[in-house]
Chain A
Amino acid sequence: MNCIHCSEKAVIELQHGALCKNHFLSHFEDRVFTTINRYKMLGPDDLICVATSGGKDSLTVLYLTQKYIKKHKYKNAAVFALAVDEGIENYREKTLQDLTKFCTEHNVPLTIVKSKDTFNKTLDETYQTITEKKNKKPCHVCGVWRRYLLNKTAKEMGATKIVTGHNLDDEAQAIMMNIFKANTSLAGRLGPVSGIKENEHFTSRVKPLYLCPEKEVRLYALLKGFQVHFAECPYSKEGYRHHIQEMLNNFEEQYKGTKQGIVRSFLAILPLLKEAQKEEKIINTCTLCGEATSKEICNACAMKEELMT
């Protein structure tokens, strides 16, 4: 199979035709840069915190954020990488090694924060309490910790934007998870630019890979030669997301364009969801840590207390 634009051998078949290496790389970068422009994700004076793990998504988005800034000659803008070490043995240290190497090679400052320093325990140390005593999934606790530490640390470092590596598959999964669980309030927080209200406690979160399927992100990282070792979180299969992911991949294999369809349909109704929730949510500050919350105590502090009992 050859590329639809030239006679070179194709590396991927897309809905509009097959592409060779060079045409795929251009196509992918164009889509990311168009997404950044369309949703006004980055500006010339931004201090950009890229949330990173060392996986294909975060390395790709880190590389392309830097490239976008250089391309647009944003001389006042700067980028740094931020990673959270949840404390998952035989997993996180491998991805952080790849990340550290990448940041050194690409001259990006990197900060790593450890969950244990804030929550007193690693995810491994608290696993038994989470699953047996509290009947929760480790992914739920990990998600709350990560969001909290990313937002708090980015704010402390003066970031004006947080860039995340969420791709089209991640978003389609999150949309379906919220629909299946009737979480309309959480659904309103999704989208290419996250958050419902502008608030001094929140740094705007943006997702440049929003319209890029996961398979294309992996291919881009591979063709660019980013070192990404496959490392599997020992808890990932316990999460609800894993089942949704399998279901959507089975649909996608049979009915091409399923994930795009989910995300594009969601984008059409997202303004209504955000507008409806503007009225509902009052943002307070947590009485324990001072971070933003819609309750008296934020989820992270509530969870920290719960896991200590």
Chain B
Amino acid sequence: MNIIIVDERTNKTKTVAFNGKTVKDVLQTLKINQETVLVVRNNEVLTSNENLNDKDKIELLSVISGG
């Protein structure tokens, strides 16, 4: 399936194709540590086992401050 990713750090949007089902799967595909981001879909914070659907748009919010 394809997921649209909006990255708060870079302020960029990209589409990622992956074979998994969940938030955890997509973070593993992107090689992003779960400790470093919050994942939000439609203004709702998602836990790692939440299932994603094709063409879902998710936002990655950085946990780590930039200072």
Cα distance A231–B67 when bound, in Å? 8
CB pair B45–A219 under 8 Å, yes or no, is yes
Contact A55 B65, CB 8 Å, known A13-B48, A230-B8, A232-B9:
yes
Q: Is the interface of B mostly helix, strand, loop or mixed?
A: loop
CB pair A11–B45 under 8 Å, yes or no, is yes
Interface size for A (C-beta < 8 A) is 30
Contact count A vs B, C-beta below 8 Å: 62
Flag whether A118 is at the interface (Cβ < 8 A): no
Taking the closest CB of chain A, its distance from the CB of B47, in whole angstroms, is: 5
Taking the closest CB of chain B, its distance from the CB of A88, in whole angstroms, is: 9
Residues of chain B from 50 to 64 with CB closer than 8 A to chain A in the complex? 50, 61-64
Taking the closest CB of chain A, its distance from the CB of B36, in whole angstroms, is: 6
When C-beta atoms are compared, the residue in chain B nearest to A88 turns out to be B67
Find chain A residues with CB under 8 A from B47 CB.
1, 10-13, 18
Cβ contact of A56, chosen from B35, B36, B65, cutoff 8 A = B65
Find chain B residues with CB under 8 A from A218 CB.
38, 61-63
CB pair B66–A230 under 8 Å, yes or no, is yes
CB pair B67–A214 under 8 Å, yes or no, is no
CB pair A233–B45 under 8 Å, yes or no, is no
Cβ contact of B64, chosen from A18, A214, A222, A253, cutoff 8 A = A214
Cα distance A230–B65 when bound, in Å? 7
Interface size for B (C-beta < 8 A) is 21
Cα distance A53–B28 when bound, in Å? 32
Find chain B residues with CB under 8 A from A21 CB.
45
Cα distance A250–B33 when bound, in Å? 7
Flag whether B13 is at the interface (Cβ < 8 A): no
Cα distance A57–B62 when bound, in Å? 13
CB pair B38–A252 under 8 Å, yes or no, is no
Residues of B within 8 A of A (CB): 8-9, 33-36, 38, 40, 44-45, 47-50, 61-67
20 A-B contacts (beta carbon < 8 Å): A1-B49, A11-B47, A12-B45, A53-B67, A55-B65, A55-B66, A56-B65, A95-B67, A218-B62, A222-B45, A223-B45, A230-B66, A232-B9, A232-B67, A233-B66, A236-B66, A236-B67, A245-B64, A250-B33, A253-B35
